[in-house]
A and B are shown apart, each in its own frame.
Chain A
Amino acid sequence: MTSDAILLIEDEPHIRKFLKNALQADGYQVFEADSVARGLIEAASRVPQLCLLDLGLPDEDGMGFIQELRSWSAMPILVLSARDRESDKVNALNIGADDYLTKPFGIEELLARVRAQLRRSQPKSSGSRVEFGDVDIDLAKRMVRKAGQDVHLTKIEYRLLSVLLEHADQIMTHVQLLNAVWGPNHQEHEHYVRIYMANLRQKLEDQPTQPRYLLTEIGMGYRLCLGGVIGA
């Protein structure tokens, strides 16, 4: 199996070197870029499987890169951002980024996210059945079972769950979920999403207040983590 190629766009040389070392140690092939312009050229010429993007770049905002790239490629984009740009992160996710990591981040965390994104972008294995933890979902029959017991979901709960499944391991912002489940006329009803997520957790998580799969990304939205978080 050929190793996956990763495009790393970051203007700070120390971080770039450190990330490159870590990724190469994990067996990935790494291409580097230090600006949006350079990044677009690399993305087009090398055709990597994943892109790591820092939002604050010297020549242009990283948002421009996402918009440009999304017009012709569906490769996963993992955004690295400093913590004081909360709204940037939501915007980046809304216009097409798949995940984000806040600086400073642990290298193990980064590698786990990279693996998750790459796994997600591979062709879906057969299936109308999805499992996480002791939850078993039959998409064809629209059946949800937990620990062998049937779980009754309302129409909207099911729709919300299926949207999350479709974008598993990816952060879905409140706006994206509202659009996908309720349609575009409910932008001001962000609390709908929160209420239904709470309901889903009540029905599908062992400990709804400390979920392992239906995770909250504070200030961003939600992520269905098929592998389950460690340690919770």
Chain B
Amino acid sequence: MPRPDPDQLLSQLQHAEQRAQRGRLKIFFGACAGVGKTYAMLQAAQQQQRLGVKVLVGVLETHGRADTEQGLLGLPVLAAQQRQHHDKLLAEFDLDAALARRPDLILVDELAHSNLHGSRHPKRWQDVEELLSQGIDVYTSLNVQHLESLNDIVGQVTGIQVKETLPDHVFDQADDVVLVDLPVDELLWRLQVGKVYPPEQARRAQQSFFRKGNLIALRELALRRTADRVDAQMQDYRQTSSIVPLWKTQERLLVLLGYPDAGRAVDAEVLIRHAARLAQQLKAEWRVILLDTPRQQRLADHARRVWLQPLSFAQSLGAVTDLLSSTAAVASVVDYIQRHNISRIIVPTDALQRPVFWSRFSRSLMAALEQDCTALDVIAVNASLSKNTAITQHSNTQTSGGSASSQMPVASPRAGLTQWHAAYWSEDRQGYFWAVFGCTLVTVLLAGLTHWFDLANVVMLYLLVVMWVSARFGRGAGTLAAVLSVLSFDFFFVEPKLSLTVSDAQYLLTFAVMFGVALWVNHLAANLRFQAKVAQQREQRAQQLTELSQQLAGVLTATQVEQIAQDQIGAWVGGAVWIARLDLQDQLELSRPPATVPTTVYDPALAMWAYQHEQPAGQGTDTLPNSPMRYYPLRAPMRTRGVLAFVPSAELHSPDVARLLDSMLSQVALAFERVHFIEVAQQALIKIEGERLRSTLLSALSHDLRTPITVLNSLAQGLARADLSETEHAEMVQSMIMHSQTMQHLVMNLLDMAKLQAGGLNLNQQWIVIDEVVGHVLRSFAKPLAQHQVEVRIDADFPLVYLDELLLARILSNLLENAAKYTPAGSTIIITAKQLDAQQFELHVCDNGAGIPEGMQEQIFQRFARGHSETTQTGLGLGLALCREMMRVQGGGLRAEANQPHGACFILNWSQPMPPAPPVDMA
């Protein structure tokens, strides 16, 4: 018995979990209006309410039907939002109010409905998605003719194009589909007695849509579609319960679009729908590619956008889309098929039958596919079947990406993306000028030299001009040059001169060949140009991406990431870029408005939406497509890090540009995440250091503080005795003062240590004068060091040092205290400052006492360590450890060495940046 694949099981489980958090979608599905979907839905809702579920009727049209109105009784109804639309007041579903009411279950009729212009989402099913994502269950109704993939079939059967459509994935991913079925005769009877529409309307309906034949066909479609769904469910179930192990082929579909005319985009839609249906049946991944030819590159901005529309349409149906730029179309298609392991290709019939479009190339597409892709199924679809304008229009409202932005006023040409369009035109005009100028120049030059030149050479020179113009300025100018060359050659050089007539018929062949060669050269040169341009564009994009990642690689703070993202992406989209990041309270904060004065207004609510839903919002998306800007969430592996917004340009609809933008955005998001984790790591490091110090402190506290307290206590008790002599008394008082001073010193050290470990120490590194600190410390040690020789060797022009002067003073105090304690009276203490190189500095505190025992140079920096174990001195155990910590927090170190010939040297070392410029002072 084979066991189910664990990965698959896991993904199923995750899927089930995700569904549990989402609301459940139940669709009441019927063949057409009047079968009783709304009624069935209300009945189900009534039942839920009786069970104690909080039900809300979001939007529902009763059409004046008595049954339906009866069903509404007792259910709370959400007030519709009144919206001004072309001086008419229209009611629309109020999504925000529905979300605010937070019902358990909401009824939203007519899933395929298109919202009024200016709503948050263009389509009602998108509202429903949002309700579901907030965990609200939804009941809704749907007629079969509204299903996107069946749309054209319904159109063929009934002759009526339905404009409101629903993507199939919404239907397929619904949790429950309830088929509301009614025999056709019964439906017709209901219609006749006026249960569906008022009598007058009913009569009209019966003559057009509600013909018996139509109704039977629609019913069959609805039944079959539901059956397909049940079938798929059964397969899923089998897979989960592993009743029968299923071997699934990995099918990959490809739709090939290569139509240059925008007006014929309708063909593409039929192909795409067909592919979507097929892909769904086969459970196959499917791709749509559009051939980008030199001619397409030359299209004006808006024309190109229309031309790119089928791709966004395909994307909305779930396809992966690509733009293939190449002059050798056939070869690149074959290459694409092989690279992506395509198993079936869908092409329009005319692509195979008429070799018109492919005629420029050496072999036809079909021949190439037969030769190179033997395992490939080719499916030819007659795309001219449903050539009518209704679908074209329909496609404009459907394709969310392309069409919504085409309603927007076309933004002014932007730098970077659209630059070359503008350049193209000016270059074009220049090209025509050069074509004329070149031909004239050759004519004038050669006219006087006909005696020396053979006519064959004249032809050569003309061809040279044609070649140069074609290579430099492209096809149009090249063609002009070719025509002009032949004409001038005829007119000025061929007998009879200054006439277009030709005496010798032989020259006709010369003209023909000359013209042919000119055109061919022109074609080759223009193709070269195109390829160069495509390569250049690709190179440019790759370079932009590399540049961005290189710049982001070395960045350490979020502000730097913002700066770079704004500069790079801003230069790329040719406009201002807004970046909003999460602040410490997890609020989305616009941390960086663009540097240039913006012409559009940033909308925080929309940015928040994009962030929360992890989806692009704003212009050209499904959410508030009429807002001027588009908002992209910055998704990183762990979480979304913020939102980036700008005014998008037309080129963004091209898949490769969109993909580049995606890569750029994820680079930025990754950089934000990396920076975030750097901060987290630093904090963790600081915490660990703090813990380490805390343990040092506690052990020191218990040990070193007890000693002086014990001494003080016994001395005080001793003083209480009456039988003390005068000298004994004085000695004891002196001893008490000394010990209390020792204790004070220890407490100071402890406090410093406590501050260090609590992170409460505000490191205050500044540019200070080192001998000033040394002088201060020596002044406070004047008494303890009265018996010692102290020598300070610091040059008057020693550079400023970058240290915390309080910490430095504490370190020096500790070192001098040790020196006073551990060296005999009369010893010499030398303090020397040294500059090793531009950034490395040292301060030596050396004595000529007994020195540190060999091998103890490191140990003395451990807590409680003392150079001589049997000493009665206290306090050193903490002091040196503390000094070393104090140097470490300033990025330096402290070590001990033996002094020559004897004694100890304590060496502070640190590195620092270049000192600031000294003040200017006129003497």
Contacts and interface: CB of A to CB of B under 8 A. Distances in A.
B409 interface: no
Interface stretch (A12-20, A114-122, A195-203): A195-203
Contacts of A197: 769, 772
B769 A195 contact: yes
B771 A198 contact: yes
B769 A198 contact: yes
Contact of B800 (A195, A196, A218): A195
Contacts of A208: 771, 775, 796
B607 to A, nearest CB: 36
B779 interface: yes
Interface residues of A, number: 35
Interface stretch (A36-44, A92-100, A186-194): A186-194
A211 B775 contact: yes
Contacts of A29: none
A87 interface: yes
B298 interface: no
Interface string B751-795: 100010000001010111101111110110011001000001010
A232 B782 CA distance: 6
A73 B253 CA distance: 91
A104 B737 CA distance: 12
A191 to B, nearest CB: 4
A196 B919 CA distance: 9
Nearest to B751: A84
B806 interface: yes
B762 A210 contact: no
From A84, A86, A195, A209, residue with most partner B Cβ within 10 Å: A209
B778 A210 contact: yes
Contact of B769 (A156, A194, A230): A194
Given A196-B921, A218-B776, 8 more contacts: A104-B744, A152-B923, A191-B916, A198-B772, A208-B771, A208-B775, A208-B796, A219-B809
Interface in B900-923: 915-916, 918-919, 921-923
Interface string A213-230: 001111100000000011
Contacts of B773: 216, 218
Contacts of A215: 776, 779
B806 A86 contact: yes
A208 B915 CA distance: 22
Interface of B: 744, 748, 751, 755, 762, 764, 766-769, 771-776, 778-779, 782-783, 786, 792, 794, 796, 800, 805-806, 809, 915-916, 918-919, 921-923
B773 to A, nearest CB: 6
Contacts of A218: 773, 776, 805-806, 809
Interface string A153-167: 011110000000000
A156 B772 contact: no
A191 B767 contact: yes
Interface string A116-158: 0000000000000000000000000000000000001011110
Contacts of A217: 776
Interface in A45-96: 83-84, 86-87
B806 A209 contact: no
The secondary-structure label for the interface of chain B is mixed
A184 interface: no
B922 A154 contact: yes
A156 B775 contact: no
A216 B772 contact: yes
Contact of A84 (B755, B774, B915, B918): B755
A22 B766 CA distance: 39
Contacts of B774: 209
Contacts of B923: 152, 154-155
Contacts of A192: 919
Given A84-B755, A231-B782, A232-B782, A189 B771 contact: no
B768 A154 contact: no
From B764, B772, B786, residue with most partner A Cβ within 10 Å: B772
B755 A219 contact: no
B751 A83 contact: yes
B798 to A, nearest CB: 9
Nearest to B802: A191
A209 B775 contact: yes
Contacts of B919: 156, 182, 189, 192, 195-196
Given A83-B751, A197-B769, A216 B775 contact: yes
A8 B231 CA distance: 94
23 contacts: A84-B751, A155-B921, A189-B916, A195-B800, A198-B796, A208-B771, A209-B771, A209-B778, A209-B792, A210-B779, A210-B792, A215-B776, A216-B772, A216-B776, A217-B776, A218-B773, A218-B805, A218-B806, A219-B809, A231-B782, A231-B783, A231-B786, A232-B778
A210 B919 CA distance: 25
Contact of B921 (A154, A211, A231): A154
From A157, A182, A190, A194, residue with most partner B Cβ within 10 Å: A194
A156 B809 contact: no
A211 to B, nearest CB: 6
